[in-house]
Structure 1
Amino acid sequence: MSAAQVRVGVGGWTFEPWRNNFYPKALPHSHELRYASRHLTAIEVNGTFYSTFQAPTFAKWRDETPDGFVFSLKAHRSTTHRRELATAGDAIERFLASGLAELGDKLGPIVWPFMPAKAFDPADLEAFLSLLPSELAGRPLRHVLDVRHPSFDCEAYLQLARRHGCVTVHTDSPKWANIVDAQAPFAYLRLMRSQAALPTGYPPQALDDWADGCRRWTAGARPRDAFVFFINGDKERAPAAATALLERLGWRPTVAPE
């Protein structure tokens, strides 16, 4: 059996409409992370893009979630939302030193979100990627680049990202470049087309296809991990889409302790 794994989740865990179709209605808000982390296998945290969190917060998330669960964190906007990425050194250091290491082995990929208007500039990007450390507190880091300008959809960009061990977000959104890198060391998908009219957000055949793709990616001669997040679209259906994909992959939720 392949050691490669598929992690499936949503963006965040606090969203009021989820109390009608994912969380039990009587569940206290303070128990939402505990519940979500036992019905999903990963969560992408968007809050770290807007705010700076402290070590006790990351430690609390670590302690509330089960073994094997991971958090993917969006890097703070100060690191990438700037005209020259090469100047981001201090911001990168502040973000990484804010307490992320408290997550331990629950720290998943770090997503570096670029401005949609930021075009591919090889020299500037190379300088930025050179600032990204390969480890944090002795643990290897996985870096994901969320590039959105169509100029990134080229072999020169992919070669540069690979040279620095970085993976590119693949999305099904019609708004952004849908970049595919079959040579990436792991896969990172942000699926953004869930539909409110469908109970599972995506049509059954589409979920079957994503599941087949995950199986192929994690098997074969070069098994690699995959991270799949249902983000945006009709967000109220994101947990249903994630749990439906997990079911297709043979994963079942665990019971949260009282």
Structure 2
Amino acid sequence: MRAARMDMIHSSQPVFVVGTSGWTYDHWRGRFYPQELPKSRWFEYYASRFSAVEVNATFYRSFKDQTYVNWRQRAPQGFGYVLKAPRTITHRKYLIGVEQDIQDFCRSSALLEDRLEMILLQIAPGVPCDLGRLEKALLAFPDPSKVAVEFRRANWYAMETENLLRGLGAVLCDVDSPRQRLTGVLTAPRAYLRLHGRKRWYSHEYSYAELQEIACLAEELVARGAERVYIFFNNDFEGYAPANALTLLELLGCKPHSDESSPTPSLDA
């Protein structure tokens, strides 16, 4: 892989930000996490290898402000979080009348300060393609350029949608799944690839050839103007996600993230 323009993960502004969707899976013990490593140190271990994590727990429930403060404090230098927006916004209210919900969530997530990388807004399959509805929701965020939008309904994938996202500076979440393949569509200076698995949702182990293909696409996005490319593996079964992510880092010429001088306080949430 080309080394040009590839800042190492050690740098404060890496070109490629690679991680997994979550880190607390019990079935990763003995596969990714050493068998004897206590669960209280799993985050420390994860953060020594990856520079970001996608937090899906925020989709399912709300957290106290202190939890966000703890997340910020425990993250080593250069480590960031992507938070999945609450399902109340996307899967219950279907983006209708959600301005206050978005503002409340963003107020809490802002407690992460510079550790907050992106917000993932996953649009439920039941949400019809309504550009006005999407635009209104995106404008409720303090900075739409830090929002990656993942669609679960095919008719959202249209030039009109891309143009709306470009106009707001929002990011199209490029999805790899049994239903679709990565497209390489770029709507903002940031790119976001979300890898669910190709043959099976969440339980597909990407082959070396498939990872080479993903690495080439990531490099192509940078060549086309992407300043940062976020890549998260959501194939958590059997520890495939961290294994695939580590291989991808190697293919991209990046080193594992680490900062031994940073404290790692415990998280009570």
Match of 1:152 in 2: 156
Q: Distance in 1 between matches of 2:238 and 2:216?
A: 23
Amino acid at match of 2:237: D
Q: Distance in 2 between matches of 1:179 and 1:49?
A: 25
Let me know the Cα RMSD of the aligned residues. 2.5
Match of 1:111 in 2: 120
Equivalent pairs, count: 248
Does 2:45 correspond to 1:35? yes
Match of 1:237 in 2: 240
Seq. identity, %: 33
- Among 94, 99, 115, which residue is 1:89 paired with? 99
The secondary structure found in structure 1 opposite 2:29 is helix
Q: Distance in 2 between matches of 1:60 and 1:83?
A: 30
Q: Distance in 2 between matches of 1:113 and 1:92?
A: 13
Higher alpha-carbon deviation: 101-110 or 168-177: 168-177
The answer (yes or no) to whether the contact 1:44–1:72 under 8 Å persists in 2 is yes
Match of 2:230 in 1: 227
The answer (yes or no) to whether the contact 1:189–1:227 under 8 Å persists in 2 is yes
Q: Distance in 1 between matches of 2:102 and 2:181?
A: 25
Q: Distance in 1 between matches of 2:31 and 2:174?
A: 27
Post-superposition Cα deviations, 1:8-35, rounded to whole Å, max 9, x if no partner, equal 0101111111102110111111111111
The answer (yes or no) to whether the contact 2:165–2:187 under 8 Å persists in 1 is no
Amino acid at match of 2:249: L
- Among 126, 136, 143, which residue is 1:127 paired with? 136
- Among 35, 39, 58, which residue is 1:25 paired with? 35
Counterparts of 1:181-200 in structure 2 under 5 Å? Answer: 181-193=185-197
Change (3 A) 1:207 1:74: same
The Cα shift of 1:179 comes to: 5.4
Change (3 A) 1:221 1:114: closer
The answer (yes or no) to whether the contact 2:27–2:237 under 8 Å persists in 1 is no
Unaligned runs of 5+ in 2: 6-12, 265-269
- Among 202, 210, 231, which residue is 2:206 paired with? 202
The Cα shift of 1:191 comes to: 0.7
Unaligned runs of 5+ in 1: 136-140
Amino acid at match of 1:38: S
The Cα shift of 1:216 comes to: 2.7
Q: Distance in 2 between matches of 1:90 and 1:221?
A: 36
